Amino acid sequence: MLRFAGSKLLYGFLVMSGYAWLLAHGLSNWHVLRIEPIRRCLYRQIFFSGNEALHIIGFIGLLLGVIVSTQTFSIAGGDSSLVVKVMAWVIIWEVGPLFAAIIIIARSGSAIAVELALMKIDGEITSLERMGVSPLDFLVVPRILGVTLSVIVLTAYFQIVAVVGGLAVSAIFQDVLFLDQLHHFVELVNPWLWIGGILKSLVFGLMISTIACFHGISAGTTFSVVPQAAIKAVIRALLVVFVLDILFAGLRLIY
């Protein structure tokens, strides 16, 4: 039993060390984006992770804004200030970054892990090494930066759609002008909530992309490892994101 627990702890430490090393490599070698093929890879990653996820992010954001607004209104009644404060706290600080991260994990995290695992099985990574091209620079750096930028933008988009949708529904229920509700929201919301939400999305994006790349590029050379790489990327990215979210909540309570 102790041997099993010890082996699990050692494996976990090695995996976390791998995450840290890969993230450090991605951030310290951003300058390789000056190379045209790597820059095109960055653009493709942003298009897939960001642009193609706009519709689902917008739809879920609108639904969430409506749900938060109606549920808060049913509890608070005509207290519009409470509705606005709850929406600001829930959507801007908490749920916006978390939901955007979950959607990116489901779409891009699994896709990156599968893509890199298949490239390793097909020998494409070995071919890059033989040509003198660093697989980490060519494959990992643009994916880490592309996914991170996409998470930041999608989080802001999710927050805007959710807030606008929620305030519109709140204005209908309270029989007030939408612009008055929006003005009230801007007056009551602390700008640090927006900054905190963007900071959370930045950290989430870095960890999601790093974990997906790690499990894809460290996969074995048989096809049976492909679904395993995808599962590990999704489950561990979700676990890390939720742990980080708890840490951010603790920091919020302290400060």
Q: What pLDDT, on a 0 to 100 scale, did the predictor assign at position 255?
A: 59
Of 89, 92, 87, 99, nearest to 151 (Cα)?
A: 99
- Tell me the torsion sign for CA atoms 171, 173, 174, 176: positive
* 237 has pLDDT over 90: yes
Better-predicted residue by pLDDT, 250 or 62:
62
What's the pTM?
0.88
* 202 has pLDDT over 80: yes
Q: What is residue 223's three-state secondary structure? A: coil
The answer to whether the CB of 184 falls within 8 A of the CB of 80 is yes
Using alpha carbons, list the distances in angstroms from residue 101 to 15, 52, 107, 110: 21, 15, 10, 13
The answer to whether the CB of 26 falls within 8 A of the CB of 42 is no
- pLDDT tens digits, residue range 136-167? 889 999 999 999 999 999 998 998 888 888 88
Neighbours of 137 (CB within 10 A): 18
- pLDDT tens digits, residue range 28-71? 888 888 988 889 999 999 998 888 888 888 898 888 888 887 87
CA angle 248/254/255 to nearest 5° reads 90
| Residue-averaged pLDDT of the chain | 84
Two structure tokens written together for 76: 């608070």
